[in-house]
Amino acid sequence: MQLTLQIIANGLLLGGLYALLAIGLTLIFGVLRVVNFAHAEFMMLGMFGVYWIWRLTGIDPYLATIIIIPLLFAFGLLCDRLIIQRTIGAPEVTVVFATLGLSILLQNAALTAWTADIRSVTTHYTGMVLTPGGLRISVPMLISFAVAMLAALGLWLFLSRTFYGKAIQAVAQNREAAVLMGINVRRVYMWTFTVAVTAAGVMGGLIAPLYSIYPRIGMSFIVTVFVIVVLGGLGSVSGAVLAALLIGLVEASAGYLIGTAWAELSYFLIFLAVLIVRPQGFFGRRGAEVFGGR
Amino acid sequence: MVKSRSNCASRALLVGVLAMGTPLLALGASAPAAAESAVESVKVGALFPQSGDLAFGAADALEGVQIAVELFNETNQHGIEVELVTADAPDPAGGAAGVRQLVTGDNVDVIVGTYASAIASAAAPAAERLGIPYIETTAFAEGVTRNTGNVIRTTISSGALGASAMDFVLTGLAEQLGVAEDEMRVALLYTDDEFGVSIAEAALERLNDAAATLVIEESYPAATTRDLSSVLLRIQQEEPHAVVHIAQVPDATLFWRQAQQLDVHIPAVIGAGGGYGQSEFAEALGPNVNGIFNVVPPTSGSINVEALSSEAQDLLAGLQSGLEERGWDQGPYTDWAFMGTWVFLDQIVPQAASLSVDDLMAAAAEVDVDALDSITGFGFKFIPAGEDNSGQNERAIPVVQQWQDGRLVVTFPEELAVSQFIDTPLPTWEERTEPIAE
């Protein structure tokens, strides 16, 4: 029983990490209809930002995460202005190549600036655990999980309870109608993209004490996060959180029961099964992938 | 727990080397004079990952090759001019493309590579198809020499590495832990790439001949693994005496961080090259790295260099001076790539009738460099063409290193050891007194 609970706890904590990355990605897709292949690279930049602040000044990684937020935000705005805005409404292949190109650019910029060296943030709480009921819960993982859940809750409240949030939803549902209602669609796009990639950078900061930091670290997350976004339903924040937790649980339990090598295969099988039964994912809308679709 | 040994380090290295039963030939001394060399110039293509996931360790290897070439040109003992061009090989497809670029675009005579087994396994056959000799200084995969006829490998093969790792578990480690071979419980964890699989296969082959029990065998994709808690929980359940872990830096670091989080105690963990030998792994773990083993060919950093010949010490000084001038670090791959390239240029090329595959393989078969004449502490003698595994350096013998005070030192076999075992078995997480923070 204890072992089962530990596997569930490990899976949920892992899912929490995925969730923070997935909610930003699903929001970008839901609102902008942009498949952001560069999303995990913003996470990588967040990791490097926190690493260098910690390394050069000794500032705690979590405090450093707060420090990098405005930097990530400004960089997100820049990317939006230079690249994303220009791809809105363009053929899908243009969008794909633009974000894929941004991904490659950021990876290679990091490689040039900081070399391929593998770096680590090691603090006194790197190995710290809480032991409720004999379970062992990693404190850094728990912090990441809590931030992800709070971010998802905050985003859900923002989207459903505020005027601006409803404007974002309106743009997501029907761009043309939103324009006719007087919503500044370009501004909605800009804020959505920038907030989402900032969230990815924040996730990078939060996981810096957990994972090694190198220019291609994003590659190890992005495929899983895309699976989560599609499984949860394109554009659905609550769907992304649910799917992230499910994937985390499947990965942890399949890894234990049938082997680590089978963990990825297991959640891909579940992914395919869900898509056969419900092609739009858990909470997605049919046709959500179409620009301006409903 | 510390094992008592009486042998002094330098004497041990000397004894070990002499036990190999080879005549001593100082590097350079055996080479023909400039007029005798049939080769006047050689254009070397250095093929290493300079971008992508593998660029991290490969940079050290490329730097080793660059300094070897510069040093060779500076001394110019044989009247041979060496020109070096480089190509990026981020992955296996890039390796094959890099070979084509070097051969057809840059017209190189020979290729030196490659750092990564998967890339070498694609690049070496590509070079063979073009009739170009391939000098492998750093990749371990068995097939690189076994499946080709154009490769001279100066470093160890995965077969020897995996067998040595398991051999240590069954002999030296079992003795240290006080566990009989038939009671020994072993877990094998490895990355599912060419590097991990080839070493694991050799380790399993050795284990199959022993009475020990394999309790866990697991592979995982190194590039996408973000969680090893599942296998750690299985390790906790199965209680192996030793885990042989073939990993890169990120997954090796993740393994240990999660082992600490889950309070999984493992009496001994043995890495086999890759991440376990990197200083970045030690930095990430802090004092907790001490006591972890790594099985690799030795390097100048893990042996007693004072026991080396004066020529080898001069060579090491030349390498270190070159690194210092450029502000580059010296890692294990620097040593292996430097020494492999040096042996090729200084020992093989001057004795070759031409730069053809056949002539270089014939010249390589005549090479006889003793361990004391090498900065890495292992010698060079290549299996002749026509024999099984031709081109492989049969004197590239792995040693067991252990992290002690944040650096790797040779601890096994006894005759080559420069230090005694520490923390074997490893302390439990509760017993570790030093904090993980720096």
- On the question of a cis peptide bond just before residue B114, with omega within 30 degrees of 0, the verdict is yes
What is the SS3 assignment for B47?
strand
- As a whole number of angstroms, the distance between CA B159 and CA B206 comes to 10
Structure tokens, B205: 């082959």
Lowest mean pLDDT among A178-192, B236-250, B254-268: A178-192
- Tell me whether residue B320 is exposed, middle or buried, using C-beta atoms within 10 angstroms of its C-beta: 0 to 12, 13 to 18, 19 or more: middle
Examine the pLDDT at B33 and tell me if it is beyond 80: no
- Tell me whether residue B79 is exposed, middle or buried, using C-beta atoms within 10 angstroms of its C-beta: 0 to 12, 13 to 18, 19 or more: middle
- Please state which CATH class domain B20-156+307-373 belongs to: alpha beta
What is the SS3 assignment for B247?
coil
Of the candidates B292, B416, B307, the one whose C-alpha atom is nearest the C-alpha of residue B19 is B416
> Per-residue DSSP letters for A65-96?
HHHHHHHHHHHHHHHIIIIIHHHTTS-HHHHH
pLDDT in tens, A152-174: 899 889 888 898 888 888 888 88
Is-contact B349 B362, C-beta < 8 A?
no
pLDDT reported for residue B241: 97
Position A289 confidence tier, pLDDT thresholds 50, 70, 90: low
Radius of gyration of chain A (CA): 19
E strand intervals along chain A: 129-130, 137-138
List residues bridging with B246 in a β-sheet: B190
Q: Minimal Cα distance from B232: which residue of A?
A: A256
Pick among A7, A112, A118 to test the B interface (most B CBs inside 10 A):
A118
List strands edge to edge, sheet with B110-113: B81-88, B41-48, B110-113, B134-136, B151-153
Examine the pLDDT at B24 and tell me if it is beyond 50: no
pLDDT reported for residue B54: 79
Mean pLDDT score, A46-57:
96
List residues bridging with B369 in a β-sheet: B380
pLDDT reported for residue B139: 92
List residues bridging with A10 in a β-sheet: none
Instruction: Indicate the Cα dihedral angle B199, B205, B206, B210, nearest 10°.
Output: 150
Examine the pLDDT at B22 and tell me if it is beyond 50: no
Examine the pLDDT at B28 and tell me if it is beyond 80: no
ipTM of the complex as predicted: 0.90
Instruction: Indicate the Cα dihedral angle A179, A185, A186, A190, nearest 10°.
Output: 180
Position A292 confidence tier, pLDDT thresholds 50, 70, 90: very low
Structure tokens, A294: 């409903």
Q: Which of residues 37-56 of B touch A (CB under 8 A)?
A: 51-56
Check if A37 contacts B (Cβ < 8 Å): no
B382 DSSP 8-state letter: B
- As a whole number of angstroms, the distance between CA B144 and CA B195 comes to 11
How many Cα atoms within 13 Å fall on the side-chain side of residue B287? Answer: 13
pLDDT reported for residue B36: 61
Q: Token pair 């390239």 is at which residue?
A: B341
Find the helix packing angle between B158-168 and B194-208, rounded to 10°: 50
Q: Token pair 């609970």 is at which residue?
A: A5
Å between A23 CA and nearest CA of chain B: 19
Parse chain B into domains and list their residue ranges: 20-156+307-373, 159-296+405-416
pLDDT in tens, A265-274: 898 998 899 8
- Tell me whether residue B299 is exposed, middle or buried, using C-beta atoms within 10 angstroms of its C-beta: 0 to 12, 13 to 18, 19 or more: buried
Check if B286 contacts A (Cβ < 8 Å): yes
Structure tokens, B369: 């460099």
Å between B235 CA and nearest CA of chain A: 10
Examine the pLDDT at A142 and tell me if it is beyond 90: yes
Q: Cβ contact (<8 Å) for B224 and A223?
A: yes
Of the candidates B415, B408, B345, the one whose C-alpha atom is nearest the C-alpha of residue B154 is B345
Structure tokens, B250: 């990120």
Check if B232 contacts A (Cβ < 8 Å): no
What is the SS3 assignment for B76?
coil
Check if B161 contacts A (Cβ < 8 Å): no
- As a whole number of angstroms, the distance between CA B66 and CA B72 comes to 10
Q: Token pair 């670029």 is at which residue?
A: B101
pLDDT in tens, B69-108: 999 999 888 889 999 999 999 999 999 999 999 999 999 9
Structure tokens, A232: 């949860």
Is-contact B62 B46, C-beta < 8 A?
yes
Å between A83 CA and nearest CA of chain B: 24
Examine the pLDDT at B23 and tell me if it is beyond 70: no
pLDDT in tens, B151-183: 999 999 988 899 999 999 999 999 999 999 999
The reply to whether B20-156+307-373 and B159-296+405-416 are identical in fold is yes
Position A106 confidence tier, pLDDT thresholds 50, 70, 90: very high
- As a whole number of angstroms, the distance between CA B223 and CA B235 comes to 22
Of the candidates B280, B287, B316, B314, the one whose C-alpha atom is nearest the C-alpha of residue B299 is B316
Structure tokens, B148: 């080709």
Instruction: Indicate the Cα dihedral angle A264, A269, A271, A275, nearest 10°.
Output: 160
pLDDT in tens, A187-215: 899 999 999 999 999 999 999 999 999 99
- As a whole number of angstroms, the distance between CA B139 and CA B121 comes to 9
- On the question of a cis peptide bond just before residue B413, with omega within 30 degrees of 0, the verdict is yes
On chain A, the residues whose CB falls within 8 A of the CB of B224 are 219-220, 223-224, 264
B246 DSSP 8-state letter: E
Instruction: Indicate the Cα dihedral angle B105, B107, B111, B113, nearest 10°.
Output: -30
How many Cα atoms within 13 Å fall on the side-chain side of residue B178? Answer: 5
Enter the CATH code of domain B159-296+405-416.
3.40.50.2300
Q: Cβ contact (<8 Å) for A118 and B249?
A: yes
Parse chain A into domains and list their residue ranges: 22-218
- Buried-state track A115-136, b at ≥16 Cβ within 10 A, e below 16: ebbbbbbbbebbbbbeeeeeeb
